[in-house]
Structure 1
């Protein structure tokens, strides 16, 4: 492809998305550039503080338990209080709790503050995902989720390399740095992002009334959706092994924190390099095939870690499961929004987020315990089995997935109801806000 062709493809990938999306994207990028605690917590506890892999797993699990507690509550807050207030509360709380964690000395206080930090950090996710679904039209959502995921991994690649070097000198600097950058995100949300929560349209009839009555019971009774949530948990259980099991296993093999940072940075660098072009290939393809293939690649990508004995082989395994991640993330996020009613997006996203939070709770416990008792190779074999089960689950669950109808997309109603809220928030913050859902650039080509 010529340089002109590459430039044209790049413009098509980013054009036509609302201005609010790009502020949310920028906030995500800054936040991930400062991500330190989740990536290096296990190494901090085992190498710097001298605790066992089991204790590191318990602390990481408590960090995940905090996320479980906050997931559903934050989803309800996003629907009732609004996306923007939920984001502000979550980000300010995260900034102070992660900074405090760096000063904790005793095992009990480390565990307690890790729980609070996990609860605060996870509270922003349902609001971010619901806001993105509110402001981006249905036909552009897979592309928007892909671009946001791309930002996550640009920041992750940067933080993995830099934080790995920082960790070799002072872990405290990493904790404080994450706190400062998270506060920057909160300021950005306060100044630039209007509220996007859709309001019921007056006179819309019984259908709008039924949708506005969405509760957590509605979510739990949605069998197809809960099946997707269960499969998401299995995928997250495998992916989360890179936060505790992989660094602990590499540390036991004699590799340094900097070498782990280099290996895990391959994940972010590869996503930065190929996420957008891959998304252009998959965004209109059958999600059943995409999710099935991604589950197999995830399970066997981590399974191959059993044969890793050098930095090069570890990098190769990361490449395999990263390709799975590139396919799975935007496809699954698009599916989650497709199955969620507009007035209940916060609750539905909260339930989806909880699947990752429960995985963040159980994966470190299982990973640390298996490594301590049976060795890392047994854990990588379990990952391969779980990936196979998830692939079969996606294949059978999505056999009769209904066709999406962009013309009847619930977001259309949100876009017509949003101007009043956007204008009110803009007046309060002193900014000029665009109407959520209205592209500020030329619409993307079909």
Structure 2
């Protein structure tokens, strides 16, 4: 047991102090975003918006995310990651607090779009900051640490959020979300001011290649859109599925979703550290992660047994914690060919574009065609993503760019 513990701790060694600060800031921020997994429930149960209209609200969520990711990449290349991160976090805090006071369907659509536009300018800037503060050999583990912070925050967030809903109500979530964003801003200003923080990777490509001319990266981008499309069902359609089909309460839904973050906290870093030293390629591992995510939805249609929900979460979690760090590491490595903000913004936009269609499609299909059809449809999309990654792997191998 002691050796196991020592090996676990050793997987965290060698990362810069700045990356650890970024992880803590991300944890504080993500712990507060507990409204996100409950947003579809809040809109339907508390605001009494129909399930189909909830889908359109979630589309506005995705549109705002796309706009924010694109804007964040442009601003990061223009004014620097630090200014973008500070302004995004602080503004998001106040916008989250104000979101609870919107009453009409139109107001909520506009409000969600605005919040996500401002909030997601943070993500490309954060990835660039992480790359700057990471040695080349530590970048994948740095990505994993940040993901660990995100998922630990998401693990705590839904569990606490479910209790807040049960005791205070949904309005409490907005206040906590806003306050934690503001606290994260204060910490960021205190510890990651460029005059104090030490950059590790300062290499700049003097002759950058435009991401628009990078065909393999566009294939990768399309595959990641599909990966994100099916993965995001866990944050909109899945909570409704748990409630409607398996009759789970909000706290029970929170605990089940929180299991995802707990598993990632316990085993993701050791797995990634081991995979980094293996002969597996980043694209091959991304493909494997997508396949497991597909399987996590497929098993839900096999049996009505309640335990299958846990099996589904476990499969999705393993797929996520292998597929996303490796795909992110691939994007960071590839970004050295051009402007980092532009490349990493495109990686973030894959998830944002998926948000535009994923939540709405899942909610509309489940409302009109049922959950069983929805899960099979998502699996079919995932298979297309697998084929794209297989094709990409062949192209990279042919060009001697497979890493």
Q: TM-score, normalised by structure 2?
A: 0.93
Asked if 1 retains the 8 angstrom alpha-carbon contact of 2:152 and 2:261, the reply is yes
Match of residue 291, structure 1, among 274, 286, 304 = 286
- The residue aligned with 2:207 is 210
| Mapped partners of 1:197, 1:237: distance in 2 | 34
1:230 aligns with 2:222: yes
Shift in Å at residue 219 of structure 1?
A: 1.1
| Mapped partners of 1:221, 1:342: distance in 2 | 11
- The residue aligned with 2:46 is 48
Asked if 2 retains the 8 angstrom alpha-carbon contact of 1:240 and 1:360, the reply is yes
Shift in Å at residue 197 of structure 1?
A: 10
- The residue aligned with 2:248 is 255
Match of residue 267, structure 2, among 271, 274, 280 = 274
| Mapped partners of 1:298, 1:6: distance in 2 | 28
Shift in Å at residue 168 of structure 1?
A: 2.2
Asked if 1 retains the 8 angstrom alpha-carbon contact of 2:285 and 2:322, the reply is yes
1:128–1:247 Cα change, 3 Å: same
| Mapped partners of 1:232, 1:249: distance in 2 | 24
SS of the aligned residue for 2:335 comes to coil
Asked if 2 retains the 8 angstrom alpha-carbon contact of 1:300 and 1:387, the reply is no
Match of residue 239, structure 1, among 218, 228, 231 = 231
Asked if 2 retains the 8 angstrom alpha-carbon contact of 1:263 and 1:311, the reply is no
- The residue aligned with 1:430 is none
Asked if 1 retains the 8 angstrom alpha-carbon contact of 2:131 and 2:201, the reply is no
Asked if 1 retains the 8 angstrom alpha-carbon contact of 2:35 and 2:161, the reply is no
State the Cα deviation string for residues 204-250 of structure 1 (Å, max 9, x = none): xxxx4313xx6xxx112111111111111000001110111111222
- The residue aligned with 1:205 is none
Shift in Å at residue 311 of structure 1?
A: 4.0
Asked if 2 retains the 8 angstrom alpha-carbon contact of 1:98 and 1:176, the reply is yes
| Mapped partners of 2:402, 2:323: distance in 1 | 19
1:166–1:311 Cα change, 3 Å: farther
Asked if 2 retains the 8 angstrom alpha-carbon contact of 1:302 and 1:380, the reply is yes
Shift in Å at residue 403 of structure 1?
A: 5.1
Asked if 2 retains the 8 angstrom alpha-carbon contact of 1:79 and 1:343, the reply is no
* Residues 17-416 of structure 1 mapped to structure 2, 5 A cutoff: 17-169=15-167, 170-195=169-194, 208-211=205-208, 218-253=210-245, 254-284=247-277, 285-307=280-302, 309-341=304-336, 344-399=339-394, 400-401=396-397, 402=400
Shift in Å at residue 308 of structure 1?
A: 5.5
Shift in Å at residue 6 of structure 1?
A: 2.5
SS of the aligned residue for 2:94 comes to helix
1:342–1:90 Cα change, 3 Å: farther
State the Cα deviation string for residues 18-46 of structure 1 (Å, max 9, x = none): 11111101101111111122111101011
Counting matched residue pairs gives 392
State the Cα deviation string for residues 140-180 of structure 1 (Å, max 9, x = none): 11111111111111111111111011122311111110100
Asked if 1 retains the 8 angstrom alpha-carbon contact of 2:90 and 2:181, the reply is yes
1:266–1:7 Cα change, 3 Å: closer
Shift in Å at residue 12 of structure 1?
A: 2.1
| Mapped partners of 1:6, 1:194: distance in 2 | 37
Shift in Å at residue 337 of structure 1?
A: 0.8
Q: TM-score, normalised by structure 1?
A: 0.84
Asked if 2 retains the 8 angstrom alpha-carbon contact of 1:199 and 1:343, the reply is no
1:224–1:403 Cα change, 3 Å: closer
Shift in Å at residue 200 of structure 1?
A: 7.4
Asked if 1 retains the 8 angstrom alpha-carbon contact of 2:134 and 2:200, the reply is no
| Mapped partners of 2:97, 2:212: distance in 1 | 36
| Mapped partners of 1:97, 1:9: distance in 2 | 42
Q: Gapped runs of 5+ residues in structure 1?
A: 202-207, 406-446
1:210–1:38 Cα change, 3 Å: same
CA RMSD of aligned residues (A): 1.9
Q: Gapped runs of 5+ residues in structure 2?
A: none
